[in-house]
């Protein structure tokens, strides 16, 4: 009898610990230490429906995102690593904030205010995602703050003048807001003291069937873009803006990712392309809908940005260590990185990525989760 009582007390404690974990709110704990001993924290955001996301202060990386399916069953739909050591070993920007300039800058060079700047070439002949130590590899300061109907975390980083070769001290704030409507809302803002290019995005890899469930080739994708920016074979735009109609890039009606992927002339084969979004940049409008047929999960994307890089995990090769010992294979996840067009700083015909002192960079993107009706 006494044993039974003791057992039920233990069970009660375990249950309440579980309830605590799934409780609406934001909690913070230590995630690990960087090689120089800087502490990395982990924040867990849980909304009133039990949807949970975990974020670490290294790169503002979203390490987990638990989303319900059509039967209310939760799965972690974001690819990532198991722990800090694995993130530090290297990974292809899983769940991270990328910048100062996300995507590519041709030959790592640009001219601004009559001065030529040289950046790291860390992707063949080009500069990618902010250079050697881009915003995905720095430690952000996290602050929990109160919002109505949502759980919110503010991440801040001050990028020094000259960091990774870019001009100006840049103060960046990225807010992750998990609403009770199962939306992950991201609000970016930044100011500078010298003119600088800036292009911030979130590099989350999604697999709406669950991060370890194989390829995303059967996900149905709709992208509200009649045009795209064709590239050379190093993925730098040629400067032309061409219609998607009649190409494998036409996602104006829902189409399985795998349907025409073999028609793409690229090595490795797959989508890694900037779409010129319909509608007015600066206004928050729906730009994409992705449906996973088996789970019924649907993700809608809205943004204020003019473009989106649609990337289908072409470079994943089964070697990358993932959560729970999973090895992510090619097409194991997809990204919809809302942003300005690649290499905009060198392309006169593209919307400008230059932020001037006294002006504010602003960008809002919302990933909204639901189920197919
Ligand atoms: C972006 C790029 C891809 C690739 C990934 C990271 O999406 O466009 O070419 O570099 O990042 O692997």
Q: What is the pLDDT of residues 273-301, one digit of tens each?
A: 999 999 999 999 999 999 999 999 999 99
Q: What percent of the chain clears pLDDT 70, i.e. is strictly above it?
A: 94
Q: Is the dihedral of CA 59, 132, 306, 296 positive or negative?
A: negative
pLDDT, mean of residues 175-186: 98
| Ligand 1 centroid to residue 56 C-alpha, Å | 21
The question of whether 211 is a catalytic residue gets the answer: no
Q: Is the CB of 309 under 6 A from ligand 1?
A: yes
Q: Is the CB of 336 under 6 A from ligand 1?
A: no
Task: Name the phi and psi angles at 232, rounded to 5.
Answer: -85, -175
Gap between the Cα atoms of 187 and 189, Å rounded: 7
Identify the residue whose C-alpha is closest to ligand 1 atom 5.
Answer: 92
pLDDT in tens, 296-326: 999 999 999 999 999 999 999 999 989 999 9
The question of whether 203 is a catalytic residue gets the answer: yes
pLDDT, mean of residues 363-370: 98
| Ligand 1 centroid to residue 315 C-alpha, Å | 8
Q: Is the CB of 92 under 6 A from ligand 1?
A: yes
pLDDT in tens, 92-106: 999 999 999 999 999
Residue 17's pLDDT is what? 45
pLDDT, mean of residues 330-339: 98
Residues found in the chain: 373
Residue 22's pLDDT is what? 66
47 and 178 Cβ atoms separated by less than 8 Å: yes
pLDDT at 3 over 70: no
Gap between the Cα atoms of 188 and 105, Å rounded: 21
Pocket test for ligand 1, best of 315, 317, 341 (most atoms within 8 A of CB): 315
pLDDT at 6 over 80: no
pLDDT at 11 over 60: no
Gap between the Cα atoms of 352 and 137, Å rounded: 25
Task: Write out 97-132 in H/E/C secondary structure.
Answer: EECCECCEEHHHEEEECCEEEECCCCECCEEECCCC
pLDDT, mean of residues 57-82: 98
Gap between the Cα atoms of 100 and 198, Å rounded: 5
| Ligand 1 centroid to residue 41 C-alpha, Å | 26
330 and 313 Cβ atoms separated by less than 8 Å: yes
Residue with more model confidence, 72 or 20:
72
pLDDT in tens, 109-139: 999 999 999 999 999 999 999 999 999 999 9
Contact partners, residue 287, CB within 8 Å, separation at least 6: 223, 224, 225, 277, 278, 279, 301, 302, 303, 308, 338
β-partners of residue 27 are: 44
Cis omega (within 30 of 0) on the bond before 100? Answer: yes
pLDDT at 8 over 90: no
Query: Where does the pLDDT of residue 148 fall: very low under 50, low under 70, confident under 90, or very high at 90 and above?
Result: very high
Q: Out of 203, 211, 340, 363, pick the active-site residue.
A: 203
Residue 19's pLDDT is what? 44
Identify the residue whose C-alpha is closest to ligand 1 atom 6.
Answer: 92
Q: Is the CB of 124 under 6 A from ligand 1?
A: no
In the chain the first and final C-alpha atoms are separated, in Å, by: 51
pLDDT, mean of residues 201-215: 97
Please state the atom number of ligand 1 nearest to the C-alpha of residue 235.
Answer: 9
Residue 266's pLDDT is what? 86
219 and 206 Cβ atoms separated by less than 8 Å: no
Gap between the Cα atoms of 38 and 31, Å rounded: 11
Q: How far from 255 is each of 46, 208, 218, 251, CA to CA, in Å?
A: 32, 15, 9, 6
Residue whose C-alpha is closest to residue 336's, from 204, 178, 240: 204
Question: Chain-wide mean pLDDT for the chain?
Answer: 95
DSSP string computed for 217-273: TT-EEEE--SEEE-B-TTS-B-S--EE-TTSTT--SS-EEGGGSGGG---SS-S-EE
């Amino acid at each position: 009898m006494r044993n039974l009582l003791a057992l039920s007390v233990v069970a009660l404690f375990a249950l309440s610990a579980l309830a605590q974990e799934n409780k609406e709110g934001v909690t913070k704990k230590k995630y690990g230490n960087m090689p120089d001993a800087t502490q990395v924290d982990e924040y867990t955001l849980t909304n009133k429906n039990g949807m949970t996301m975990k974020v670490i202060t290294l790169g503002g990386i979203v390490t987990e995102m638990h989303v319900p399916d059509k039967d209310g069953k939760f799965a972690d739909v974001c690819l990532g690593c198991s722990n800090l050591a694995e993130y530090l070993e290297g990974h292809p920007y899983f769940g991270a904030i990328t910048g100062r300039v996300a995507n590519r800058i041709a030959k790592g060079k640009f001219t601004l205010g009559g001065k030529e700047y040289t950046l790291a070439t860390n992707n063949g002949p080009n500069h990618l995602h902010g250079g050697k130590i881009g915003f995905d590899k720095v430690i952000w300061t996290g602050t929990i703050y109160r919002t109505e109907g949502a759980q919110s975390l503010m991440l801040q980083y001050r990028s020094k003048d000259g960091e990774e070769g870019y001009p100006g001290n840049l103060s960046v704030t990225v807010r992750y807001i998990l609403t009770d409507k199962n939306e992950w809302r991201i609000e970016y803002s930044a100011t500078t003291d010298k003119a600088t290019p800036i292009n911030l995005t979130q590099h989350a890899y999604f697999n709406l069937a669950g991060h370890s469930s194989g390829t995303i080739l059967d996900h149905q994708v709709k992208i509200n873009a009649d045009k795209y920016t064709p590239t050379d074979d190093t993925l730098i735009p040629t400067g032309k803006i061409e219609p998607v109609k009649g190409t494998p890039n036409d996602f104006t009606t829902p189409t399985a990712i795998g349907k025409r992927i073999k028609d793409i002339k690229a090595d490795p084969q797959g989508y890694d392309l900037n779409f010129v979004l319909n509608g007015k940049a600066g206004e928050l409008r729906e730009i994409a809908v992705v449906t996973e047929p088996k789970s019924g999960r649907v993700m809608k994307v809205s943004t204020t940005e003019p473009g989106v890089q649609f990337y289908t995990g072409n470079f994943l090769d089964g070697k990358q260590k993932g959560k729970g010992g999973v090895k992510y294979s090619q097409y194991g996840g997809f990204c919809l990185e809302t942003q300005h067009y690649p290499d905009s700083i060198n392309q006169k015909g593209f919307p400008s990525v230059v932020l001037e002192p006294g002006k504010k960079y602003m960008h809002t993107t919302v990933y909204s989760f639901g189920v197919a009706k």
